[in-house]
Amino acid sequence: MSSFSNTNHDAFWMPFSANRQFRADPRMLVSAKGMYYRDDAGHDVLDGCAGLWCVNAGHSRPRIVEAVQKTVATLDFAPAFQMGHPMAFEAADRLAKLAPGSLNHVMFCNSGSEAADTALKIAIAYHRLRGEGARTRLIGRERGYHGVGFGGISVGGISGNRKLYGSLLTGTDHLPHTLDLRRNAFTRGLPEHGAELADALERIVTLHDASTIAAVIVEPMAGSTGVLPPPVGYLKRLRDICTKHGILLIFDEVITGFGRLGGPAFAAEKYGVIPDIMTCAKGLTNGTVPMGAAIVSDHVFEAFMQGPETAIDLPHGYTYTAHPIACAAAIATLDTYAEEHLFERAEILSPYFEEAAHALRDCPHVVDIRNVGLVAGIELEPRNAPTTRAYEVFDRAFRKGVLLRYTGDILAISPPLIIEKHEIDRIFETIASILREVA
Ligand code: PMP
């Protein structure tokens, strides 16, 4: 009998969940190691989504566990306001070295949501310090996800995450999303068509005037709304338009960072398009301890270093900014990625992963398959029922010992980068068999 049955289930209000549905038929995880969770009935569950796109090195890696244990026993907490501890400087230096171009300065926080709001605030402040205080407008994108802070949902493009919460930040606008099933269905890797969608930014600039626009924020590959790889040439075009009009470009690499797309650590480097600010979280600590970061380029940072040396450069930060335990986890995580060459491994495995994903093409209900690196989205045809097919596949897969993610009608697969080929097979074969069962 699981401990769940002895607890008041109404106390924990689960986020982004149908709480009443869950309580009727719970899915409970009690431990994790390597590629597998264990549920409360003692069954192993193959982790097909790296927890929540974050456990890129696999679960409970000894090096990270030891770093966390050692730190909690030696420096349980240290403030980062006007104080320092060595691991904060080391973690920032390691992250800055991993980030491409002149993205050399790290403002830590505790989540992807905080990273997005931190980046947006830095962008507005940057312009103001340079005498362009009218540049306050923030441009996001339809189907963009930048967490759940007011900044993040204002630039985010998911109506369900916005509509309960009032008027949000004023002065935002949105680019069109890049999904085009008519032209790009079943593309392997980056879709061929759609670079011109970036030109919508020119229309937005014409409408509002560049002098009012602070920043554009996009995920290089939209993850949470169903794995939308960028069309070939799209990111470069956005970069060029931003540069032309003095608009800062922010990449939200909360999902795409730390090898998820295979090869370099970040999408920015993989696609050769360097933003002015980049956010990350999740894989930064392998999911072990909450941590996020906004990484800013030299020219943005320098704008904050012009005032009196005794003045606070940026009035922003959190009690837990650069928490020692998070810094220790981040350093051990980056060591693990490097020693095991996990980003390269993701790249080497990606053709196999791509084949396995696209083998589902002829399964019932499949209307699109999208993939890059070790992430894939499988879009199913919508149906007229209280729950989507994707939810049903997700739920049945869990009962068969495979953890997936679903969003609307789309399944997302993003396993730890340590996955073996037979485990890739098992994930996609499980989905295929369930798709044949599901009405
Ligand atoms: N940005 C992106 C691109 C994300 O995918 C997420 C989380 N899925 C976030 C921001 C928010 O991160 P968090 O849940 O850690 O606040």
In 3D space, the residue among 429, 394, 396 whose CA is nearest the CA of residue 408 turns out to be 394
Which atom of ligand 1 is least distant from the CA of 290?
15
For residue 99, the CA-to-ligand 1 centroid distance in Å is 18
For residue 213, the CA-to-ligand 1 centroid distance in Å is 24
For residue 395, the CA-to-ligand 1 centroid distance in Å is 23
Which atom of ligand 1 is least distant from the CA of 144?
3
C-alpha torsion sign, points 164, 168, 171, 177: negative
In 3D space, the residue among 128, 149, 152 whose CA is nearest the CA of residue 140 turns out to be 152
- Residue carrying the six token digits 């030891």: 66
pLDDT at 1: 41
Q: For 152-180, how does the pLDDT look when each residue is reduced to its tens digit (9 = 90+)? A: 999 999 999 999 999 999 999 999 999 99
Structure tokens at 168: 């949000």
For residue 255, the CA-to-ligand 1 centroid distance in Å is 7
For residue 385, the CA-to-ligand 1 centroid distance in Å is 28
In 3D space, the residue among 318, 420, 423, 416 whose CA is nearest the CA of residue 64 turns out to be 416
- CA distance from start to end of the chain: 32
Q: Which residues line ligand 1 (CB under 6 A)?
A: 111-113, 116, 145-147, 219, 223-224, 252, 254-255, 281
The strand ranges marked E within 270-315 are 277-280, 292-297
- Percent of the chain's residues with pLDDT above 90: 96
| Contact of 283 with 54, CB cutoff 8 Å | yes
User: Long-range contact list for 359-367, CB < 8 A, 24+ apart?
Assistant: 359/428, 359/432, 360/428, 360/431, 360/432, 360/435, 361/186, 363/431, 363/432, 363/435, 363/436, 364/435, 364/436, 364/438, 365/389, 365/435, 365/438, 366/435, 367/181, 367/185
CA atoms within 13 A on the CB side of 177: 20
pTM (predicted TM-score): 0.98
Q: What is d(CA 336, CA 283) in angstroms, rounded to the nearest whole number?
A: 11
Q: For 329-358, how does the pLDDT look when each residue is reduced to its tens digit (9 = 90+)? A: 999 999 999 999 999 999 999 999 999 999
Which atom of ligand 1 is least distant from the CA of 112?
12
Which atom of ligand 1 is least distant from the CA of 111?
15
Q: Hey, whose CA ends up nearest to atom 1 of ligand 1?
A: 146
Structure tokens at 92: 């920032």
Which atom of ligand 1 is least distant from the CA of 222?
3
For residue 375, the CA-to-ligand 1 centroid distance in Å is 16
What type of residue sits at position 414?
S
Q: What is d(CA 1, CA 222) in angstroms, rounded to the nearest whole number?
A: 40
Q: Hey, whose CA ends up nearest to atom 12 of ligand 1?
A: 112
Give the residue-averaged pLDDT of 217-230. Answer: 98
Structure tokens at 251: 């990449």
For residue 366, the CA-to-ligand 1 centroid distance in Å is 27
For residue 146, the CA-to-ligand 1 centroid distance in Å is 6
pLDDT at 4: 64
pLDDT bracket for residue 8 (50, 70, 90): confident
Q: Hey, whose CA ends up nearest to atom 13 of ligand 1?
A: 112
For residue 1, the CA-to-ligand 1 centroid distance in Å is 34
For residue 113, the CA-to-ligand 1 centroid distance in Å is 6
Ligand 1 mutation pick, 252, 254, 266, max ligand atoms within 8 A of CB:
254
Structure tokens at 30: 């009690």
Q: Three-state SS string across 107-124, please?
A: EEECCHHHHHHHHHHHHH
| Contact of 403 with 52, CB cutoff 8 Å | no
In the predicted structure, residue 88 carries a pLDDT above the cut 70: yes
SS3 73: helix
Q: What is d(CA 108, CA 118) in angstroms, rounded to the nearest whole number?
A: 9
- Percent of the chain's residues with pLDDT above 70: 99
Backbone Cα Rg of the chain: 22
Q: For 348-405, how does the pLDDT look when each residue is reduced to its tens digit (9 = 90+)? A: 999 999 999 999 999 999 999 999 999 999 999 999 888 999 999 999 999 999 999 9
Ligand 1 mutation pick, 52, 148, 282, max ligand atoms within 8 A of CB:
282
pLDDT at 196: 98
In the predicted structure, residue 65 carries a pLDDT above the cut 50: yes
Q: What is d(CA 281, CA 270) in angstroms, rounded to the nearest whole number?
A: 18
What is the bridge-based pairing of β-strands 213-218 and 172-175? unpaired
For residue 359, the CA-to-ligand 1 centroid distance in Å is 29
| Contact of 37 with 31, CB cutoff 8 Å | yes
In the predicted structure, residue 2 carries a pLDDT above the cut 60: no
pLDDT at 101: 97
Ligand 1 mutation pick, 14, 109, 146, max ligand atoms within 8 A of CB:
146
Give the residue-averaged pLDDT of 249-256. Answer: 99
Q: What is d(CA 91, CA 281) in angstroms, rounded to the nearest whole number?
A: 13
Which atom of ligand 1 is least distant from the CA of 292?
15
Q: What is d(CA 396, CA 350) in angstroms, rounded to the nearest whole number?
A: 26
Scanning 187-279, the segments in alpha helix (DSSP H) are: 200-208, 234-245, 267-270
Q: What is d(CA 383, CA 106) in angstroms, rounded to the nearest whole number?
A: 45
Residue 75, phi then psi, degrees to nearest 5? -145, 85
For residue 112, the CA-to-ligand 1 centroid distance in Å is 4
pLDDT at 7: 78
Q: For 269-295, how does the pLDDT look when each residue is reduced to its tens digit (9 = 90+)? A: 999 999 999 999 999 999 999 999 999
In the chain, what are the domains?
A: 3-11+32-53+344-414+426-437 (3.90.1150.10), 65-339 (3.40.640.10)
Ligand 1 mutation pick, 155, 255, 279, 284, max ligand atoms within 8 A of CB:
255
Q: For 92-147, how does the pLDDT look when each residue is reduced to its tens digit (9 = 90+)? A: 999 999 999 999 999 999 999 999 999 999 999 999 999 999 999 999 999 999 99
Q: Hey, whose CA ends up nearest to atom 3 of ligand 1?
A: 254
Which atom of ligand 1 is least distant from the CA of 147?
11
In the predicted structure, residue 439 carries a pLDDT above the cut 90: no
